[in-house]
Amino acid sequence: MRAGDGQRILGEEERIDWLRLIRSDHVGPRTFRALLDHCGSAGAALEALPELARRGGAARRMRICPRDAALREYDAARLLGVSYVALGEPDYPPRLATIDDAPPLLAVRGTMAALGAPAVAIVGSRNASAAGIRIAERLARDLGAVGFAVVSGLARGIDAAAHRASLATGTVAALAGGPDRIYPPDNADLLDAILRRGAAISEMPLGWEPRARDFPRRNRLISGLSLGVVVVEAAHRSGSLITVRFALEQGREVFAVPGSPLDPRCEGSNHLIKQGATMVTEAADVVATLQPILGRPIVARSGGDRLEEAPAGTAPRAEATPPTDTRARMLTLLGPTPISLDDLTRLSGQALSTVHTLLLELELAGRLIRHRGGMVSLAAADDQA
């Protein structure tokens, strides 16, 4: 599962195990990686889950996705033309594979090849001005003409304009809901047009209606797929700025189109330029910045210490069960204030691998919250699912 090698292809049975594991309670992209490292395979992880969660002090039995539910999703998806691409497989979008919380399985609709092209995201206001729409179209068309795929979020306004203007050259929509749940519904026709030469991706289960909190989470995929994010018209606290935050964390370039200081729709984008984002008035500005990056090979970023600790093919380490008093000590060290793994390891006096195992157990028990930058905290009692 090492990001960037992209040479391994999962067997059918293994893919179902991956789907079951990522659809189980308390298993997000990071926990998924930790489980694979800890147990050696998704199948082994599924078997180990109940015991790990029990040791972590789960309040009740954790829900593991049943094999038949995963099979049902898998078959229904296939009928819809959805493929599941696993992290580490050759078809997995190479840039996306480099982010810390890359989805282990990506539901893909449309043209797989569109995910391999170098990509630029164009995002912005839903209630965009006519000028903003025209700029988004012009940038998307011109970036498409020089070979970039255009990534966006299928929202109204800027997103839709960017997709529309790059239909002929290839555009990628990152969805907040399941691959069959299109939001807003009136962009369903646009999605159909996108799929002809482009693609749509989703990490959510088939049939999943997107909730408000799924949109920010989805935004990390928009930036993660891309070399850079261009913001066209963004108000002060807008979703586009969340995408920018992800882009910065992921080491992506940030671009912004300037606008009148009198237009509140440009406050966010103007502010970005003041903060150092590259100002864009034409596609050439984006190309000039990205050209040098395009030459560089794509390499996985640090990817979390787990990946570094456990080379591919390492034997499962489930036998390294920490003693109960170590577990109690860990709980004492943890609290509602996020603390770094380094501090936790130092203060606990335990090996890093032991700390990882204990945290994994707590996570599966729904008692641990992982924060950006490798920080963790204990979930409040009422946070527990």
- The CB density around residue 285, as the number of other CB atoms within 10 Å, is 16
Tokens representing 260 are: 């009148």
Nearest residue (CB) to a copy of itself, 282 versus 342: 282
Closest CA to 257 of 167, 122, 163: 122
88, 177, 205, 259: residue in contact with a copy of itself (rule CB under 8 A): 259
Applying CB under 8 A, the span of 8-16, 174-182, 266-274, 296-304 interacting with a copy of itself comes to: 266-274
Question: Is residue 258 part of the contact set for a copy of itself (CB under 8 A)?
Answer: yes
Alpha helix ranges (H) inside the chain: 12-22, 29-39, 42-55, 67-80, 130-145, 158-165, 188-197, 214-224, 239-249, 267-274, 283-295, 304-309, 324-333, 341-348, 352-364
The structure tokens listed for 190 are 């646009």
DSSP 294-327: HHSPP-----HHHHHHS-TTPPP-TT-PPPHHHH
Closer CB to a copy of itself, 253 or 267, in the complex: 267
At 381 the three-state DSSP class reads helix
Q: Which of 14, 25, 91, 285 binds a copy of itself (CB under 8 A)?
A: 285
Binding flag, residue 291, a copy of itself (CB under 8 A): no
CB of 270 to a copy of itself, least distance (A): 5
Residue closer to a copy of itself, measured from CB, 18 or 255: 255
Only segment of 109-117, 131-139, 350-358, 367-375 that touches a copy of itself (CB under 8 A): 131-139
Q: CB–CB of 257/232 below 8 Å?
A: yes
Q: Which of 262, 315, 319, 349 binds a copy of itself (CB under 8 A)?
A: 262
Among the listed residues 8, 126, 134, 217, the single contact to a copy of itself using CB under 8 A: 134
Among 108, 235, 273, 307, binds a copy of itself (CB under 8 A): 273
Q: Is 198 exposed, middle or buried (0-12, 13-18, 19+ CB in 10 A)?
A: buried
The only residue of 135, 150, 334, 365 in contact with a copy of itself, by rule CB under 8 A: 135
Cβ proximity of 358 and 326 under 8 Å: yes
Q: Contacting a copy of itself (CB under 8 A), which of 226, 250, 270, 350?
A: 270
260 binds a copy of itself (CB under 8 A): yes
Question: Please, what is the minimum distance in Å from the beta carbon of residue 209 to a copy of itself?
Answer: 37
In angstroms, what is the minimal distance from the CB of 281 to a copy of itself?
4
The verdict on 249 binding a copy of itself (CB under 8 A) reads no
Q: Cα Rg for the chain, rounded, in angstroms? A: 21
Q: How many residues bind a copy of itself (CB under 8 A)?
A: 20
Q: Which of 44, 131, 287, 379 binds a copy of itself (CB under 8 A)?
A: 131
Is 264 or 373 the residue whose CB approaches a copy of itself more closely?
Answer: 264
Cβ atoms 158, 257 nearer than 8 A: no
Choose the binding region for a copy of itself from 49-57, 103-111, 167-175, 261-269 (rule: CB under 8 A): 261-269
State the minimum distance, in angstroms, from the CB of residue 267 to a copy of itself.
8
The tokens 């068309």 sit on which residue?
Answer: 141
Q: What distance in Å separates the CA atoms of residue 125 and residue 210, rounded to the nearest whole number?
A: 19
With CB under 8 A as the contact rule, the residue among 257, 307, 358, 360 that binds a copy of itself is: 257
Query: Of the candidates 63, 81, 184, 281, which one interacts with a copy of itself according to CB under 8 A?
Result: 281
**Exposed, middle or buried, 276 (CB in 10 Å: 0-12/13-18/19+)?**
exposed
Closest CB to a copy of itself among 205 and 259?
A: 259
58-66, 128-136, 155-163, 175-183 -> range binding a copy of itself (CB under 8 A): 128-136
> Residue 165 and residue 133: Cα distance in Å, rounded?
10
What b/e sequence results for 317-338 when a residue is b if at least 16 CB atoms lie within 10 Å of its CB, and e otherwise?
bbeebbeeebbebbeeebeeeb
Distance of closest approach, residue 279 Cβ to a copy of itself, in angstroms: 6
**Contact residues for a copy of itself, defined by CB under 8 A:** 131, 134-135, 257-263, 266-267, 270, 273-274, 279-282, 285
